[in-house]
Structure 1
Amino acid sequence: MSNALGLVQNIYRAFSQGDIPSVLGALAPTIRWTEAEGGPYGGVFVGPDAVLDNVFMKIGAEWDSFTAVPHEYIAEGSTIVALGEYSGTFKATGKSFKAPFAHVWKLEDGKAVSFQQYTDTAVHQRPLQ
């Protein structure tokens, strides 16, 4: 297992356990985090604090049992692609969803320097209505 793959697997493990400080600790200070346009948190966020404020805090406040579970990894040097499934229940409506995702991670010097999300944003938006 490559160091890059192990790092990304540890990020998902920490996220699944609610250990957001460990997730943030794996991100480079200049990480460029891209959430899919059209999704509930679509946009580009630079730095761990921006990811925390614009993604993780919103997920925690707005969703019950939100998960991002990878089922397969594709590793090529310092680039890791995680294929998996999101699920959760939107607190305001009580509606649930499941949607596939592809995440592209790029790593340098033992830290994630970029994250790109691909998902079916229409499916992700349904519970919000």
Structure 2
Amino acid sequence: MSDIKTIEGVYAAFGRRDLAAVLSTMDPAVTFVQAAPLPWGGTYHGVEGVQTFLTRLLSHLDPQVTTEALYSSGDHVVQIGRTRGRVLGNGKDFDLPEVHIWRLANTKIVSYQVHTDVPALLELLT
């Protein structure tokens, strides 16, 4: 399976909220990074760390990711898209551009970085 197909599968599984399928694509030493000011932000290590990240994220937001483009270069896949959804605490809708940077080794995800409009997200959470 190509790295792009792996990442497409991750987004499809996340869209179904099939977190077991998402976690099955992770290398045991995976690292997830999201901007620290967000309630679910920080650096998470290992599959358990990814599970913690996803649990925290989904306790604040009901997000859906729309992929506009996927690019593969070496062991990286870059996703450009939008995150849309609702803030669970206050019902506010959001639609923000984002970029996700994935790194894979032997078809397993070894790192993930999220880049989005953090000030806009923080404002939405208030």
TM-score by length of 2: 0.92
Query: Mapping of 1:28-67 within 5 angstroms?
Result: 28-53=27-52, 55-64=53-62, 66-67=63-64
Residue in 1 that maps onto 2:24 = 25
SS in structure 1 at match of 2:39: coil
Gaps of 5+ in 2: none
2: distance between equivalents of 1:70 and 1:48? 24
The alignment of Structure 1 onto Structure 2 pairs a total of residues equal to 126
Q: Could you give the per-residue CA deviations for residues 75-98 of structure 1, whole angstroms, max 9, x where no partner exists?
A: 112210000111121122111211
Residue pair 1:38, 1:122 contacting (<8 A) in 2 also: no
Q: Percent identity?
A: 25
Residue pair 2:39, 2:56 contacting (<8 A) in 1 also: no
Query: Mapping of 1:39-118 within 5 angstroms?
Result: 39-53=38-52, 55-64=53-62, 66-118=63-115
| Dislocated runs of 4+, deviation >3 Å | none
- Aligned residue among 107, 122, 125 for 1:125: 122
Deviation of the 1:70 alpha carbon:
1.4
2: distance between equivalents of 1:123 and 1:115? 21
RMSD: 1.4
SS in structure 2 at match of 1:83: strand
TM-score by length of 1: 0.90
Gaps of 5+ in 1: none
Residue pair 2:13, 2:19 contacting (<8 A) in 1 also: yes
